[in-house]
Amino acid sequence: MNPHQDSVKLRKIKHTHDPISHQKSPSKNDPFSRKSKKMKKSDEMKDEKEYPLLRFDELPEYMKDNEFILNYYRADWPLKQAFFSLFHWHNETLNVWTHLIGFVVFVGLTIANMMHVPQVTEFLNILTWSFPLNQGASASNYSIMDTPKLIDLRHGSPLDLDIDAPLMAATRWPFFVFLAGAMFCLLSSSTCHLFGCHSHHLNLKLLQLDYVGIAVMIITSFFPPIYYIFQCNPLWQFIYLGGVTTMGIFTIMTLLSPKLSSGKYRSFRAVLFMAMGLFGLIPSVHACILKWDEPQRNATLIYESVMALSYLTGTMFYVTRIPERWLPGWFDLAGHSHQIFHCFVIMGALAHYGAAQLFINSWGQAGCQ
């Protein structure tokens, strides 16, 4: 065998054992290669797919709630796209943001109260006006009684009251129960409006969560006034707190029915919530009789009246669907009834926060004589 033949033979052997040389480069006619490229392109198109905003008549039945809002609906969106729609305009944008901002505010208030940051906990001072808190109060309650002392909400608050040292530290858990209820309500509402466009099943569950949040907020709102005002009357504490809690549980169980989550039961749901709120008239009248001579009475009544008026006004907008029923399509993005309802809920919750501060710093520290 000559050298040339040996060289050819060695090259053949090397080529046979070289794994790289046996790998086939993708061919344009390779069906597997074409399929892989097609799948990759399909995935990219799916990720980049735009989900258009729909008209009311294009919606699936489960999303047809307010026929006076005609455009800018999301329907059957993936969770990822639903989440990022938080930063785009559609007819739920302000519904999400109103209560999301409210949730952040109450988280801040809760942390500030836990860490005892008075500059933050008294941020309601910007809402102005002065209350005559201790005019006519007895010397046994306050150390400085020479002249009527005003609490100006622009420069001070109930936390600035000059209370005698012997007064005990107030029990604060009822106050934090209210804050927790407010945060739960606001967060569940924002979550419902943000992700309710995903699917029929999730939409139903989130609506139920939203209604439960409203009921929880109503229940927990009763804890500060009833606990602090009736702290020397434990029987009435038990009767009123037990009564409103029982009514709230009944309301929640009723609202968990899928049938009652539909739009046609809007008025019925509103009646249930109003019934829970009106139950509060009984302990309120009792408290006025019990604390009629207290100097904090007027300030407390103002705060609680603002709260009640805010909730009732918001409920009126929610039920009547004003103003969009007057001009369908004009308020699709901003100004429709549900957004107005959300704003009044925030106002009512903040008013009740102010009242709760009065409860703690007036009756919560006084103890029983």
Q: How far apart (Å, rounded) are the C-alpha atoms in residues 159 and 112? A: 14
Name beta bridge partners: 152: 130
Q: How far apart (Å, rounded) are the C-alpha atoms in residues 186 and 213? A: 7
- Residue 336 annotated as lining a ligand binding site: no
Q: Are 256 and 208 in contact (CB under 8 A)?
A: yes
- Residue 342 annotated as lining a ligand binding site: yes
Q: How far apart (Å, rounded) are the C-alpha atoms in residues 151 and 124? A: 13
Q: From 199, 177, 43, 186, select the one nearest 113 (Cα to Cα).
A: 177
- Residue 193 annotated as lining a ligand binding site: yes
Residues in CB range of 211: below 8 A, 6 or more apart: 252, 255, 261, 269
- 138 — phi, psi (to 5°)? -80, 155
Q: How far apart (Å, rounded) are the C-alpha atoms in residues 137 and 293? A: 8
SS3 content of the chain, % helix, strand, coil (to 5): 65, 5, 30
* Numbered residues of the known binding site for Zn(2+): 193, 338, 342
Q: Which residues are documented as binding site? A: 193, 338, 342
